[in-house]
Amino acid sequence: MDQKTIETKVDIYSFTELEPEIQVLINKAKEQINNAYAPYSNFYVGAAVLLENGALFVGNNQENAAYPSGLCAERVALFYANAQFPDIPVRAIAIAAYTDTDFLAYPITPCGSCRQAMLESEIRFESPIDIYMYGTECIYHIENAAQLLPLRFEKKSLEQNY
C-alpha cells in the first residue's frame, strides 16, 4: 500500500490587512447578496471576479424549485466575466455568504462544481486565481483553485494512459 498526503495552505487575514483592491472586490461580493434569489434555502451568496485587465464582474446565487437547476454565485460571476472577456484571465474571486440576519462569521468555501469551474479557468488561461472567502471573523485566501481541488479532474484525466 502507498499513501499520499495532500495539504492545502490557507492564509487567514482580517479585512484591514488586505490590499485596497481586494477590499473592494470583497465589498462587491458582499453587496451581491442583495440581488441573490434564494427563497428555498435563505442562504444568500455573492461573488465578485477581478480580471487581469482590471474589469470587475459580480454574481449571486440563483435558486430554482427544481433543484439543482439553480446556479451558484461563483459560477454566475465567473461565466459572466468569461463571456464578456473570453481572452482575459481571472486574477481573483471573492465570495461572501449571508443567512438569517448577518454574514457568516467564518468563510464559506465553494462547492465542488464551482471549484471545478475555477480550475478550468486556471487551466484555460494558464493562470492561477486568487480566491478570497469572506467571514466577519476572518477572510481565507487560497492561492489557486488547484489548492481547493487537489484530486482534480482535468483534460489529462480523459487520456487513456493517464
Q: Whole-angstrom Cα distance, residue 116 to residue 37?
A: 23
Active site residues: 74
Question: Cβ neighbours of residue 78 under 8 Å, at least 6 residues apart?
Answer: 47, 49, 59, 90, 93, 114, 117, 118, 121
* Pairwise CA distance, residues 160 & 55, whole Å: 39
Q: Which residues contact 71 (CB under 8 A, 6 or more apart)?
A: 61, 62
